[in-house]
Chains A and B, each alone.
Chain A
């Protein structure tokens, strides 16, 4: 199992507030890696930095062998086609139907026939657990849970190696949230994905995550499996994973 993402000494500054300072972690191929931490610690910022939505002010982040801080246009474009990102509220393109949302990257990046693309879209809709009858609905016509599933289907459209999930279960009811966890595990098995997720949902974390990185005090304070995490001396870890967590 190789390392797919490696962050070294990442430094982020907003105005005069230092968010990350000397932050290191690495993510192995084929695992589900959870980024956790108290609110405001910069988990989502870190995720945005990995997918090149935000610049880092120091250090380096290597994704699939490319250094995202110093990457040229062509490589950046190549890299972007190898990952999928699911945003918190789905971020579906509101002017396109669900099926068109999923088909968009396929039309842009491949020269597949319309028939072939339709097949692929149908498959993706099916695999995330949406009904085919929903395919022609627009994002404004569907529920929050369906938006997330549709967003997931779009993220998977190009069969990426990496899947980024930003709070995948937030805003879902507990039953849909567990379903979503099961879906993520299933997809990991079926497609051999490496999944990086930011989450607050304790149940979801313990059900899905193989390894976790806890972001606190501008650094990663713990990186590794959750099995003996409760023994770590950190305020956030103790309140989050302490006694109540077995």
Chain B
């Protein structure tokens, strides 16, 4: 840096740009400013003197070549006695001759079209996935001895039993909050006892299934995506296929079945915990005794609310498990893809669960249930 500088001299119609010392890519922008500030009027010949230069890197060589293009209307002379420097210049110049196709930027319309096709394809692949799941399921039913009981029980333990604690805690807190907030409002009207109706219907019918589904989607759905995605990257899935082990029978169905079996049980657990929490608040805040709470509960809460909540379980489970696994299978051969697909899996499965819940809600209400 010390002895690297640029000297600009002009002699009537001739301009001398002299480079000294080293010229590397850190100096380019500094030199460019200097050169840009030259008054170019009445200059006919530009001399680029590289004779005092003892090092030139490729970026600077490209810069010097570009300078020649900038001074097209003028005569440009390059003096460089150093063989190495003229070699570098020649190297970068030769590269320019190879036809670099200019990268075409996609237009807005192009992007819409591409995204449309991409989404259409991913929709088709999702339909294909469901077809394969169904085929594998038929195979299970047609020969029950191929059912992978060991894997199913393993998954029941992994994705449901180990979730008991987190679901209990979450549901307990939700029950607590809902009861506490409604207690505050109900007290204003002296309608204390209605906290039972309120808790019973909202928790059994809507809140418990949703909370359970969301916790499971975040906990087990994402795990499915990451597990299967990693297996895809390490070619374990390919290895299974070449050994004749159908991944749908070994990995996909056991997970879906395990979750479909366990989801109603998890929802039941969630019901219990949330109502229990509500009962505590009713006792403390509204001085409704446990006995009174349970009596009222028995009177006003129809069993159908409980059944509706439980029935939703297998549907939610199917959505969560199949979206999680599908996203796992979509993982491509790079590490980015696992994170991307895991995020998508959780977002999509929670979204699907909420849509499904809305459908249930509308259908059942219209049916008068």
Q: Which residues of A contact B (CB under 8 A)?
A: 48, 51-53, 76-77, 80-81, 83, 85, 87-89, 91-94, 104-105, 108-109, 151, 164
Contact = CB atoms under 8 A, between A and B. Distances in A.
B236 A80 contact: no
For chain B, give the interface size range.
10 to 19
A25 to B, nearest CB: 20
Given A77-B244, A80-B244, A85 B239 contact: yes
B245 interface: yes
A24 B198 CA distance: 74
B243 A91 contact: no
A53 B243 CA distance: 11
Contacts of B238: 48, 53, 85, 87, 91
B298 interface: no
Taking chain B's interface residues, is the majority helix, strand, or loop, or is none over half, making it mixed? helix
B242 interface: yes
Interface of B: 230-231, 234-236, 238-245
A93 B241 contact: no
Nearest to B230: A94
A108 B245 contact: yes
Q: Which of B234, B238, B240, B244 lies at the interface centre, i.e. has the most chain A CB atoms within 10 A of its CB?
A: B244
Contacts of A77: 244
A87 B241 contact: no
Given A91-B235, A94-B230, 5 more contacts: A76-B244, A91-B234, A91-B239, A93-B239, A94-B234
Contacts of B231: 94
Contacts of A53: 238, 241-242
A241 B60 CA distance: 39
B239 A87 contact: yes
Nearest to B243: A105
A213 to B, nearest CB: 20
Nearest to B250: A108
A80 B242 contact: yes
Contacts of A52: 241-242
Nearest to B242: A85
Contact of A94 (B236, B243, B244): B236
A110 to B, nearest CB: 13
A89 B243 contact: no
Nearest to A139: B234
A202 B236 CA distance: 28
A136 to B, nearest CB: 19
Nearest to A109: B244
Contacts of B242: 51-53, 80, 83, 85, 164
Contacts of B235: 87-89, 91
A168 to B, nearest CB: 14
B234 A80 contact: no
Q: Which of A93, A104, A108, A164 lies at the interface centre, i.e. has the most chain B CB atoms within 10 A of its CB?
A: A93
Contacts of A105: 243-244
B87 to A, nearest CB: 25
Contacts of B243: 80, 85, 104-105
Nearest to A48: B238
